[in-house]
Amino acid sequence: MTESKAMILGSSGPTLTADEIALYRDERPWGFILFARNCIEPAQISDLVAAMRDAVGRPEAAVLIDQEGGRVQRIRPPMIERYPSAAALGELYRQDRAKGLRAAWLMSRLHAFDLMKFGINVDCLPVLDVPVEGASNVIGDRAYGFDPKTVSDMGRAAAEGLKAGGMLPVMKHIPGHGRGMADSHHELPVVAASRAELEAHDFLPFMALKDELMAMSAHIVFTAIDPEEPATISRKVIEDVIRGHIGFDGLLMSDDTSMNALKGTIGERAARIVGGGCDIILHCNGVMEEMKAVVKEAIPLAGEALRRAEAVERAFGPGDGADESALRAEFHGLLAVS
């Protein structure tokens, strides 16, 4: 694998600018992430994905998107149908466990049909956060339910559906965003629950899916573990909880560097992400000056981080050859009777 830097970057619009191409070529991000601003029509999305990979000279480069369903769906009708939220699938699970699990698997398998056509190979799904009453709506209906068993079961089904289609999932937001009383896009949530409470509730879905190859961190302070730093930049949380207690040994990426839960300049945030022990810096908004600050702090993938990144690349595949129209009809039938 051509030496890559430990970062995933976005881009500003539907086509790459000359400056973006030059930055990618010179700084070699390991992967890319797409948002709605990048997704205007099908041929354009495919061309953009191909241009990103061409800029780094790596046809296997990871290209990510948040395509959850519900309110977090970056590619929308008419290009891709609108999918239900995780909470809607969770309600079906509560009515009929087998149907709920099948619906979660099917929706992810359909995401794979949708996204692989464009060359997108990573979906930032499943959301394994377990909300508590009164928590910020930033998770809300993005969660499958309010109990760890529902979230674990449905999250596993969703992850398996993506993998059946040749894509890979990203668990989020490890070790758990469900207790956050603030939206980490705008401010830093502080969770005062005891470690015992966290281990009995928030951490369980991540433990259940600890063998997945990728996870995204939570910009949340857990005062029982590290009262000073949010999980994303906390060596205590990453080593003791994520790698230790949860047992996750896959590729750990930060949540978005530009979210205001993190303090300091973009460069300072990126440096702390590296220093805390995340494998990959994620920067999403495509703002060139911010990306320039990130690339100064990003380091070449090496050691354990490189091993984890190579494991991800080996796991991409062609999919199971399933009949898309049959699975789509089955999914719509399940949702129609819910």
Active-site hit among 255, 256, 279, 283:
255
Q: Which one of 47, 96, 185, 240 is the catalytic residue?
A: 185
Q: How far is CA 172 from CA 48, 127, 155, in A?
A: 26, 5, 10
Percent composition of the chain: helix, strand, coil (DSSP 3-state, to 5) = 45, 15, 40
DSSP H/E element including 305: helix 303-315
Q: Does residue 114 carry a catalytic annotation?
A: no
Identify whether 111 is a catalytic site residue: no
CB-based burial label for 82 (10 Å; 0-12, 13-18, 19+): exposed
Dihedral angle over CA of 30, 51, 292, 62, nearest 10: -20
Dihedral Cα 237, 312, 21, 257, nearest 10 deg: -10
Query: How far apart are alpha carbons 292 and 263 in whole angstroms?
Result: 18
Residue 332, both tokens: 């719509």
Dihedral (C-alpha) 184, 190, 194, 200: value to the nearest 10 degrees?
A: -10
The residues carrying an active-site annotation are 185, 255
